Amino acid sequence: MRSYGFFFALLAAIMACIGFSQAKMQPSDVENTCNALASQTFTLKNLVNTIHSQNNPGPLEDVYEEFDGLFDTILADIELLGNTPIIQDPNSEQTVYEAYSNFIQAVFELTDDLSSAASVFIQLDPHNEYKIPYAIRIFSGVVDVSVLLSAVDCKTRRHLVNMNGSTQAYLFNMISLFPRGSAYDAQANNQKGQVDSHFDSAVSSYHLVTATTASPYSNSTAS
């Protein structure tokens, strides 16, 4: 059930393989890929809602597949964003920021709906107490690596670390496209700060469903 946003991940991978590792995106490309990523995230959010409302375990495996698709798409986008210069045109700044906000909104709605669905998801499959938080942690690691870098495997960390050893997740790369000190830079950073709490709340909600049991919460990172 991967959406068309995966096309952009495939395109980026092909470009890297044939020697375009220094490829740069134009602002319109950044806008399009970010909106595609938002659409992909909303698709997962709608799938979560369908399972929740219908109490149907059938599409649960699709949830993990969609998370995998998002993961692949974001890693591919990071490869291109790292070579993209700061946006100087005010109109382009606005359209890219709107796309950025669209993705942030998608993340907010997805994490909120995952939180709301926690009890149903665990009822449908008790392993979801650990599997869903694990998927969220991996997703959060490429969206905003400051959230839970320890949850990301070593191979992925290498994708997220630049020549100077600093981590560069998706939101970091997007924010770096706005001129430092600009209004869009400040607004984007403010939204990024809110992402952390949404991810944390989504992970915690699955523990809270069974908080009275003896199950150790540290198992939430088990696969």
pLDDT tens track, the chain, 223 positions = 454 455 555 555 555 444 444 567 899 999 999 999 999 999 999 999 999 999 999 999 999 999 999 999 998 898 888 889 999 999 999 999 999 999 999 999 999 999 999 999 999 999 999 999 999 999 998 998 654 444 444 445 445 544 344 457 899 999 999 999 999 999 999 999 999 899 999 999 998 998 765 554 544 444 3
Q: What pLDDT, on a 0 to 100 scale, did the predictor assign at position 212? A: 60
Taken as a whole, the chain contains a residue count of 223
Q: Which residues contact 105 (CB under 8 A, 6 or more apart)?
A: 38
Q: What pLDDT, on a 0 to 100 scale, did the predictor assign at position 144? A: 87
For 80-133, the three-class secondary structure string (H helix, E strand, C coil) is HHCCCCCCCCHHHHHHHHHHHHHHHHHHHHHHHHHHHCHHHHHHHCCCHHHHHH
Q: What pLDDT, on a 0 to 100 scale, did the predictor assign at position 215? A: 52
Q: Which residues contact 211 (CB under 8 A, 6 or more apart)?
A: none
For 161-183, the three-class secondary structure string (H helix, E strand, C coil) is ECCCCCECCHHHHHHCCCCCCCH
Residue 82's φ and ψ, nearest 5 degrees, are: -65, -20
Instruction: Report CA torsion sign: 156, 164, 200, 170.
Output: negative
Domain spans in the chain, listed from the N-terminal domain onward: 5-212
Look-up of token digits 């709107």: 98
CB 59 within 8 A of CB 117: no
Q: What pLDDT, on a 0 to 100 scale, did the predictor assign at position 213? A: 55
Q: Which residues contact 109 (CB under 8 A, 6 or more apart)?
A: 42, 45
Residues 30 and 145: their CA atoms lie apart, in Å, by: 20
Tokens in use for 177?
């496209």
Q: What pLDDT, on a 0 to 100 scale, did the predictor assign at position 11? A: 53
Alpha-carbon distances of 118 from 64, 73, 180, 214, rounded to whole Å: 15, 26, 39, 18
The pTM for the full model equals 0.80
